[in-house]
Amino acid sequence: MTPIELQEELTSLYTQHADTIAKSSSETINNRRVKAMEDFVRLGIPSKKTEEYRYTNLMPYLKGEYTYELAPARFSVDLNDLFRCDIPTLDTNIVLALNGFFYEKNQIDRLPEGVIISSLAKASLEYPELVNQHYSRYADTSLDSLAALNTLFAQDGIFIYVPKNVVLDKPIQIINVGFSLQNLRITRRNLFVAEAGSQASILICDHTLCKSSFITNSLTEVYVGENARLDIVRMQNENDKSSLINNSFIYQAANSHLSSNTISLHGGLIRNNVFTKLDGKGANNETYGLFFCKEDQHVASFTHIHHAKPNCTSDQLFKGVLDDNATGAFNGKILVDKYASKTLAYQRNHNILLSKQAKMNTKPQLEIYNDDVKCSHGATVGQINEEALFYLRSRGIARKEAHHLLMYAFADEVISKISLEPLRERMNDMVEKRLRGELSHCENCAIQHN
């Protein structure tokens, strides 16, 4: 199958179901489909010729027989019974999404006044103005064809709204579940709005609940208002036959703070695109990522941080460990506008290859149109430090254990940046299990990767 054939298959899938999709959605969501279709048709499925996807060959992962669901699947089991997430000291508000749709049996605790955690489809009907003000305002479908594809098919996902000056003590935990007996294509669309002066933290866990292959096209738009603070931690833990395309579009107002930590543990193909616009003075952005891949996995991180206003800071750190035939890519760009003086922007990408066949492509980029800035970038691809390994072994630590200690130390730099302590501990635990090759599922949680 060629990219063009896949593109045709997807456009005809849409045309065939356009009416059903439109009927299930509000005007707000439907209004954006026309441009999305134009952009998707123009851009096509990314191929090797697409600069941003030069090192990510999507086709082997995206082709094949997949079904598509136009309405939420119904199962007799209650997913709430399956999930007993026991981050011991972490009490979260759990929100489940099943195959991209807000789960109908979600049991959301009482929330502070004005806070909304809801289905995006439902919210766009109940709060049309609010959703319309943000929906598809940050996701530029002309930048990425898969973002266009997401906007074309978008029906549902999670909508989170934190009103002005509200501080949410309890983190919100979104658990995305893929559950289907047949191979399935999923479209998932989230919108998070943190109004001025508000604070919240969101943990997003991506899981597959069975051995079917899933292709998920996920897009999350995030608005962080003036002086607001939002911390997002993502744990990607799907089965190794599944593909996850995860686009994030982040808009930050003046003096806002956003931190994002993406920990990729399992999955066949993982592509994380982050487009951030720092559009107010003094905004601060931290974008971190850590991935482990082996066998024939591919994990790619693409970042685009746009400093549009003065005095903003951004810090990026991405680390990866690749084994077997795994391949990875990092493509990070810092764009500093001519008005964005006093910008501080840093970017680092470090990778360890554990086998001769593993391959990592890294491409840090700076594009600066202002003289009064401090920017730096650095990238390394190396092997495990043999000197350190021998040092540990000379103290009686077995090679395997020494190796484990070093891998863990490498990962720790990213994990330690997670600000919420219980979350940090849990991620530590998950990474530790991943390194030891044990099943990466949480205690008491029925979800298992394969």
Partner 1 sequence: MLEIKDLRAAIDGKEILKGITLSVKPGEVHAVMGPNGSGKSTLASVLAGRETFEVTGGSVSYLGEDLLELPAEDRARKGIFLGFQYPVEIPGVSMVNFMKTAINEQRKFKGMDPISASDFLKLMREKKEIVEITSSLTNRSVNEGFSGGEKKKNEIFQMAMLEPKLAILDETDSGLDIDALRIVANGVNKLRNKDNATIVITHYQRLLDHIVPDHVHVLYKGRIVKSSGKELALELEEKGYDWLKEEN
For binding to partner 1 (CB under 8 A), which residues are involved?
385, 387-388, 390-399, 401-402, 405-406, 408-410, 412-413
Q: How far is the CB of 189 from partner 1 (least distance, A)?
A: 37
Inter-axis angle of helices 3-23 and 33-43, nearest 10: 170
Nearest to partner 1 of 89, 394 (CB atom): 394
Q: Which token pair is 330?
A: 């990092």
Residue 375 or 397 having the CB closest to partner 1 = 397
d(CA 75, CA 415): 36
Q: Which is nearer to partner 1, 369 or 391 (CB)?
A: 391
Q: How far is the CB of 417 from partner 1 (least distance, A)?
A: 13
Between 356 and 395, name the residue whose CB sits nearer to partner 1.
395
169 vs 387, beta carbon nearer partner 1: 387
Closest CA to 138 of 38, 316, 275, 234: 275
Q: State which residue, 376 or 416, has the beta carbon closest to partner 1.
A: 416
Q: Minimum distance between the CB of residue 435 and partner 1, rounded to whole angstroms?
A: 13
Query: Cα 341 to the chain's mean position, in Å?
Result: 30
Q: How far apart are CA 234 and CA 120, in angstroms?
A: 20
Please report how close the Cβ of residue 408 comes to partner 1 at its closest, in angstroms. Answer: 7
Half-sphere exposure of 163 (CA within 13 A, CB side): 6
Shortest distance in whole angstroms from residue 436 CB to partner 1:
14
Give burial (CB, 10 Å; 0-12/13-18/19+) of 400: exposed
CB of 407 to partner 1, least distance (A): 10
Contacts of 30 by beta carbon, 8 Å cutoff, 6+ apart:
22
Q: Is residue 81 classed as helix, strand or coil in its secondary structure? A: helix
Tokens of 284: 């601060």
Task: Reduce the DSSP state of residue 359 to 3 states and report it.
Answer: strand
Contact 134, 193 (CB under 8 A): yes
Quote the CA–CA distance of 237 and 430 in Å, as a whole number.
10
Q: At 126, which helix (H) or strand (E)?
A: helix 120-126
Smallest gap from residue 233 Cβ to partner 1 (A): 20
| Identity of the residue, 277 or 319, whose beta carbon is nearer to partner 1 in the bound complex | 319
